Amino acid sequence: MKKNMYDYGFVALLSLLGLYALTNFYSYMDNYEVAILVSSVAGFSYLGIKWARFRYFFIASFVLTFLSIYLYQGDLGQSESKFLLKYILSSQSAIMWMTALFPLSLLIYWFYLFSKKEFYGNFATCMVWIAVVFASAGLLIRWFESYLIDVEVGHIPVSNLYEVFILFCLIASLIYLFYEEKLNTKKLGPFVLIVINAAVGFLLWYTLAKNADVIQPLVPALQSYWMKIHVPANFIGYGAFSVAAMVSVAYLLTENIFWRRHLPAKEILDEMTYRLIAIGFIFFTIATILGAVWAAEAWGGYWSWDPKETWALIVWLNYAAWLHLRLIKGLRGNILAWWSIAGLLITTFCFLGVNLFLSGLHSYGEL
Partner 1 sequence: MSSMRFAISMLSVVGLASIIGTVLQQNQPYESYIVNFGQFWFELFEMLSLYNVYQATWFLLILFFLVASTSLCVYRNTPQVVKDIQRFQENIREESLKRNKYALEVPFKDFKRLELIDFLKGMQFKIREKKINGQDDLIIAKKGDFQKLGYIFTHMAIIIISIGGLMDGNLVFKLKESMGIKQIEMQDKPISEISKKSWLEISNFSYRANMLLAEGESQDVAVIPVKDGYLIQDLPFSVSLKDFKIEHYASGQPRSFESDLVIKSKKNGEILTRKISVNKPLTFEGVTIYQSDFQDGGSRMNLDLIDLHSIAGPLNMKAEVFKHNVMIVDNKKVNFEFEDFRLFNILDIGPEKNKKPKNVGPNFRFKIRDEAGQAREYETYQLPMMVEDRYFFMSGMRNSPQEDYKYLRIPADADRSLEGFTIFKSLIHNGKKIDKAANQLAKKNLIETKEVSQDLANSFKAIFENFVSGGYNNIAMSIDSNVPEEKQEQVASTYIKIIHLIADQLILDYQDNNPTSTPFNFDDVTVFSQDALNGYSDSFFYGSNFWVELRDFDHIQASGLQLTKSPGQFWVYLGSIMLVLGIFCMIYIQEARLWIVRKKGSKKITLAFASNREHLEFEKFVLDTKDKIKRFYSH
**Would you tell me which residues interact with partner 1 (CB under 8 A)?**
150, 152-153, 211, 216-217, 219-221, 223-224, 267-268, 271, 274, 278, 281-282, 285-286, 289, 292-293, 296-303, 305, 307, 310-311, 313-314, 317, 321, 323-324, 327-329, 354, 358-360
Q: Which is nearer to partner 1, 14 or 218 (CB)?
A: 218
CB of 302 to partner 1, least distance (A): 6
d(CA 319, CA 245): 12
CA-based nearest residue to 242, from 127, 341, 132, 321: 341
CB of 115 to partner 1, least distance (A): 28
Contact 308, 354 (CB under 8 A): yes
Nearest approach, Cβ of 275 to partner 1 (angstroms)? 8
Shortest Cβ distance from residue 366 to partner 1 (Å)? 13
Torsion region of 155: left, alpha or beta (phi above 0 gives left; psi -120 to 50 gives alpha): beta
Of 21 and 292, the one with the shorter C-beta distance to partner 1 is 292
Least gap, CB of 183 to partner 1 (angstroms): 9
Closer by beta carbon to partner 1, 124 or else 287? 287
- From the list 219, 237, 350, 223, the residue with the least C-alpha distance to 294 is 223
Task: Show the CA angle centred on residue 262, arms to residues 258 and 265, nearest 5°.
Answer: 105
Nearer Cβ to partner 1 (83/300):
300
Residue placing its CB nearer to partner 1 in the complex, 118 or 297: 297
Print burial letters for 60-91: b (CB count within 10 Å at least 16), e (below 16).
Answer: bbbebbebbbebbeeebebbeebeebeebbbb
Complex with partner 1: residue 67 or 149, whichever CB lies closer: 149
Distances (CA, A) of 69 to 63, 86, 214, 217, 308: 10, 13, 19, 20, 36
State how far the Cα of 14 lies from the Cα of 44, in Å rounded to an integer: 8
Measured CA to CA, the distance from residue 90 to residue 79 in angstroms comes to 6
How far apart are CB 355 and partner 1 at their closest, in Å? 12
Do 96 and 108 contact (CB within 8 A), yes or no?
no
**What is the smallest separation between the CB atom of 300 and partner 1, expressed in angstroms?**
4
- 220/257 with CB nearer partner 1: 220
CA dihedral 207, 40, 141, 31 (to 10 degrees): 100
